[in-house]
Amino acid sequence: MSRLITFAALAALVFSATSAEAGWTYGFAGVTNNSPVNTAIGENQLAVEVVRLRRSSQVQLLFTNSGPDASSITDVYLDDESSLFSSIRSIQNYSGVSFSQGATPGNLPGGNNLEDPFVTTLGLNADSDPPVEKNGVNPGEKLGITLNLASGVSFSDVIAAINSAALRVGIHVQGFANGGSESFVNVNPTNPDGPPIVPEPTGLALAGIALGGLLVKRRRRSHSDGTIDG
C-alpha cells in the first residue's frame, strides 16, 4: 500500500510539474546614471520575469522589486522592433500597486542617449496612477503585464528577441531616498558585465529530479536487502 501511495504521489507531482510554465528572469542596467547610488540600487533589486502563460497567444511580464532600499518602478516601456506583441491585454496590480495603460512621458526618459536609441512601441507602455511613487512597484511588491502575441509568434520567439536585443524592456524608477530618478533597460545577455539571466527550471525538469531521487533511494534500499533491481 505504501508503495502504491508513493507512486501515486509521484504521478501527481509529474502532472502538476509538467503543467507549470517556464520563465526567464532578467536584471536591469542603468541608462541615465544621474546618481551612481540610485543606479546601483536599481541594478541590485529590480527584475522582470518573462512568463509563458497557458494560453499560447499570451506572455506576461512580471516586474519585481526585491528591496530593501527605497525605490519605485513608476513607468514601463517596450521597444518591440520585431512587432512580437499586438497589444497589452491586461495589467495585474498586486497589493500596493496600481498601474494603467499609457505612460507620460511616452518614451523611456534618457532612452535616446543609448547607442541604439530606445523607441517605445506605440501602445506598449504603462505607468502608475497618482500618487505615482506610492502606487508604483516598491520594495516587496510586483506588477504583471499580460501581452497578446502577434499572429504566428511563439514564446521562444520572445525570448530569442530579448536575448538579441530586438526586444527591450525599459523602466523609469522614482522614490529613491535622495529624491532622484533613474531609467533602466533589461540587461543584454551578450554583455558579460551585466547581472546574470536566470532560467526557471521547467516542470518536466523538476519532475525528473524528483523521479531520479526516488529511484536512487529505491536502489540503495534494494542493495541493503541483498536484491538487485532489473
Which residues face 172 on adjacent strands? Answer: 75, 183
User: What is the structure's pLDDT at 64?
Assistant: 98
Tens of pLDDT, residues 121-165: 999 999 999 999 999 999 999 999 999 999 999 999 999 999 999
C-alpha cell at 77: 516601456
What does the alpha-carbon distance between residue 138 and residue 158 come to, in Å, rounded to a whole number?
Answer: 27
User: What is the structure's pLDDT at 193?
Assistant: 54
Q: What is the pTM of this model?
A: 0.76
What does the alpha-carbon distance between residue 229 and residue 221 come to, in Å, rounded to a whole number?
Answer: 10
C-alpha cell at 5: 501511495
Tens of pLDDT, residues 8-31: 444 444 333 333 366 899 999 999
Amino acid at 61: L
What does the alpha-carbon distance between residue 114 and residue 48 come to, in Å, rounded to a whole number?
Answer: 20
User: What is the structure's pLDDT at 71?
Assistant: 98
Q: Residue 229: is its pLDDT beyond 70?
A: no
35: left (phi over 0), alpha (psi -120 to 50) or beta: beta
User: What is the structure's pLDDT at 54?
Assistant: 83
What does the alpha-carbon distance between residue 187 and residue 83 come to, in Å, rounded to a whole number?
Answer: 20
Tens of pLDDT, residues 72-119: 999 999 999 999 999 999 999 999 999 999 999 999 999 998 999 999
Tens of pLDDT, residues 159-195: 999 999 999 999 999 999 999 999 999 997 655 454 4
